[in-house]
Structure 1
Amino acid sequence: MAERIIPVDIVGPIALDLTMNTGSIRVVVDPTLKQARMVLTTEATSGPSADAIRDTAVSLNGQNLRVRVPDVAGGIGGSTTIRVGGNTMTFSGGNGVQIVGGNVYVSGHSGGKVFINGREVTATGPAGDAVTPITAEIHLPSKSVLMVGTHTADTVIRGTLARLEYDGTSGALTAEHIGDLDATVTSGSVIVGDVTGSLDVNLTSGNLNVGAYSGHDARLNLTSGNVRMAATAQAYGRLAVSATSGCARITGASHLNVRRRVTSGYVQIS
């Protein structure tokens, strides 16, 4: 396993700006934590993924931490991901894969290779360095802010985050408690337990589910996307919904200042 600990030599909440296009992002916000911690890992001890961890750019300016994980050489880019029952299949850089009579045929620009658990399988057995997923494990103190830019990485956030800015393509975001949420989602999925501050979402062919919204200003812009949200009695202020070939179902919002604009979409607010 390759591992790199990202030093965070300051005490208290931070603003973490993370770009990581693939892999897995795991965030825990801990109210007892005094100092942020971050570590990047991958199963391979050498090869493209280990090189990407080594070449990750890190800068710390006051309470602002900027981390840029480079795309893995030979990794996934311009990909299509299919999710079924918690499992994923990703296709990229083709030509393609055929399954005929129980046999698997792989063709591609680099000749076609098969990897199992990060190891290349050849006619003589496992060999070579493979592209293995990179995982970012992050622990943040309370009142921290997080900015995430990704293509297909799955992001999970535990605890209460003061603010989240999320820009994802074909990725999945799951979060428990968010203060302010600003999200741009393309063909991805966002599931949030509750939002207590402002909510600003641009959704294209994706899905947004907010279990409880108790904030003061919400703007939802949908293009071929789907939104489900439940407002609470504590919510107040404006709720603006714009839908183009999208579908939004929002409950508990009759007491809000509702503004809607619908073009070939469906918006239900009650």
Structure 2
Amino acid sequence: MTERTIPVDTFGPIALDLTMNAGRIRIAVDPTLTQARVVLTTEATSGPSADAIRDTAVSLNGQNLKIRVPDVAGAMGGTTIRMGGGTMTFSGGNGVQIVGGNVYVSGHNGGKVFINGREVTAPGPAGNAVTPITATVHLPAKSVALISTHTADTVVTGTLARLEYDGTSGALTAERVGDLDATVTSGSVIVHEVTGPLDANLTSGNLSIGAYSGHAARLNLTSGNVQMAATAQATGRLTVSATSGCARITGASHLNVRRRVTSGYVQIS
């Protein structure tokens, strides 16, 4: 395993700016924490994944922490197929065959099989394997985060004061967010509770808000899908624009609703 701890020599809430195109992002907001902690890990001991961790650029300016994790050479990319909540990605060659329940993997450098980041091919050296990178971030209360990714699986626990998320084919799950600004392309965002302003732009993506109690919401859909439940505490304007998209919003009859629909479907009740 390769592990790198990024020191955060400041106290109190921070503004995290993290760019990490693949792998896993885990953010936990802890009200008892006084100083942020960031750890990057991967199963490989050497090779592209380990190099990417060592080459990660970090800068701290006051309460602003910027982290740039470089793309891993040889990492998965290419064509992604989503089925039943799961994904299959095909990249490079030569390919994968499933015959009689057996899985055959072939490639230019020999086939390898990984399950949850661990190689399960025949015994032998695996130190140079391309394995997923995990960024584990612990933040004090009232922290904010800007997350930019392509395919990383992102999970946020606790309450973020503000979250800006830009994802392509990635998945975000968050417990509680104050302000939410989300740009989603062929990905998914699930937030259990939003208490502040909401601004979402979806292109073939999916957005689910369990409870919205903010004072201004704007939803822009292009072949995307939105499910949202407004609470009695929600106020102000709700603006929904849909082009071949679908939005179902409940509990919003008391809001100032503005809608524009072009070959899409919007239901607000």
TM-score for both structures, normalised by structure 2: 0.94
Please name the residue that 1:133 is paired with: 132
Shift of 1:22: 0.7
Deviations 1:202-254 (A, max 9, x none): 01111111011010110001111110001111111111000111110001111
Decide whether the 8 Å contact of 1:78 with 1:92 is kept in 2: yes
Aligned to 2:240: 241
Does 2:29 match 1:29?
A: yes
Counterpart of 2:95 in 1: which secondary structure?
Answer: strand
Instruction: For 1:73 and 1:151, locate their aligned partners in 2 and report how far apart those are by CA, in whole Å.
Output: 15
Cα shift at 1:93: 2.9
> 1:60 maps to which residue?
60
1:214 aligns with 213
Would the aligned equivalents of 2:78 and 2:89 in 1 still touch at CA under 8 Å?
no
Q: Within 5 Å, give how 1:190-269 maps onto structure 2.
A: 190-269=189-268
- Report the alpha carbon displacement of residue 143 of structure 1 after superposing the two structures with TM: 0.8
What residue in structure 2 maps to residue 115 of structure 1?
113
CA distance in 1, matches of 2:70, 2:15: 20
Residue equivalent to 2:167: 168
What is the letter of the counterpart of residue 56 of structure 1?
T
Give the SS at the match of 1:131.
Answer: coil
1:69 to 2:69 alignment: yes
| Gap change, CA 1:264 and 1:114, over 3 Å in 2 | same
Once residues 83 and 22 of structure 2 are traced to their aligned partners in structure 1, the CA distance between those partners, rounded to angstroms, is 15
Structure 1 range deviating more: 226-235 or 69-78: 69-78
| Distance in 1 of aligned mates of 2:154 and 2:177 | 14
Counterpart of 2:241, as a letter, is S
Equivalent position SS for 1:49: helix
The Cα shift of 1:99 comes to 1.6
Q: Secondary structure at the match of 1:53?
A: helix
Q: Counterpart in 1 of 2:7?
A: 7
Q: CA deviation at 1:94?
A: 4.1
Runs of 4+ in 1 over 4 A off after TM superposition: none
User: 1:47, CA displacement in angstroms?
Assistant: 1.2
Q: What is the alpha-carbon distance in structure 1 between the residues aligned to residue 222 and residue 48 of structure 2?
A: 36
Q: How much identity, in percent, do the aligned residues show? A: 78
Report what 2:100 is aligned to.
Answer: 101
3-state DSSP class of the match of 1:126?
Answer: coil
Question: Contact 1:214 / 1:235 at 8 angstroms: preserved in 2?
Answer: yes
3-state DSSP of counterpart to 1:114: coil
Contact 1:121 1:127 in 2 (8 A): no
Q: How many residues align?
A: 266
**Tell me, what secondary structure is at the counterpart of 2:179?**
strand
Q: Give the SS at the match of 1:229.
A: strand
Structure 2 unaligned spans of 5+ = none
What is the alpha-carbon distance in structure 2 between the residues aligned to residue 94 and residue 248 of structure 1?
A: 39
In 2: Cα distance, 1:63 partner to 1:95 partner: 47
Secondary structure of the residue that 1:121 maps to in structure 2?
A: coil
Deviation, 1:45, is: 1.1
- Secondary structure in 2 matching 1:22: coil
Change (3 A) 1:94 1:246: farther
Q: How high is the TM-score relative to the length of structure 1?
A: 0.93
SS at match of 2:113: strand
The root-mean-square deviation of aligned C-alpha atoms, in Å, is: 1.6
> Offset at 1:106?
3.4
Distance 2:258 2:93 in 1: 45
